[in-house]
Amino acid sequence: MLTAEEIHEIKEEFHLYPYKQAACIEALKVVQKHRRWVSDENVKDLAELLEMSADEIDSVATFYNLIYRRPVGKYVILLCDSVSCYIMGLETVLQHLERTLGIKYGETTADDRFTMLPVPCLGTCDHAPAMIVGKDLYRDLTPEKIDEILNSYK
């Protein structure tokens, strides 16, 4: 069941589009904002709210890599794996993250704090390697810098 707050926020989006179906992406983002991810049940509830089929909602949800259809931790680490970051030491950074957190791409730490995912290009090649944690962008990454960054997320 979607919460009253979620439904309210989604309905706010309806005003911005000619059809309420067009608010599909925003609706998914609202749900994700409140729940970190979008479950099968949420997909069905959204389908009802937007008068679409679950298949149509899920088609959109699964297309976008930043809509999470599986549970994620409190903070999602999006590590850039495009070519500039690769040249500038992605592998060292990745190994360090894997060792420190004890997880690989697509996994979540046991304390539910971090989920790590690859992302192709954050548009900051001049400061590679780069990553996003939660909503914050970090650049010119080194193992030392990473320890400091991770410690700041509780």
8 A C-beta contact, residue 42 and residue 18: no
Contact set for another protein, span 85-144 (CB under 8 A): none
Query: What is the phi/psi pair of residue 75, to 5°?
Result: -120, 135
- CB nearer to another protein: pick between 71 and 102: 71
Over the window 45 to 64, marking each residue x when it contacts another protein by CB under 8 A and - when it does not, the resulting string is -------xxxxxxxx--xxx
Buried b / exposed e along 66-84 (16+ C-beta atoms within 10 A): ebbbeebbebbbbbbbbeb
Query: What is the phi/psi pair of residue 38, to 5°?
Result: -115, 115
- CB nearer to another protein: pick between 65 and 142: 65
- CB nearer to another protein: pick between 22 and 110: 22
Q: Does 16 bind another protein (CB under 8 A)?
A: no
Q: Does 83 bind another protein (CB under 8 A)?
A: no
Residue ranges of alpha helices (H) inside 82-128 are 83-87, 90-101
How many residues of this chain bind another protein (CB under 8 A)? 15
Task: Measure the CA–CA gap between 58 and 44, rounded to whole angstroms.
Answer: 9
- CB nearer to another protein: pick between 55 and 144: 55
Min CB(17)–another protein separation in Å: 12
- Contacts with another protein by CB under 8 A lie at 19, 40, 43, 52-59, 62-65
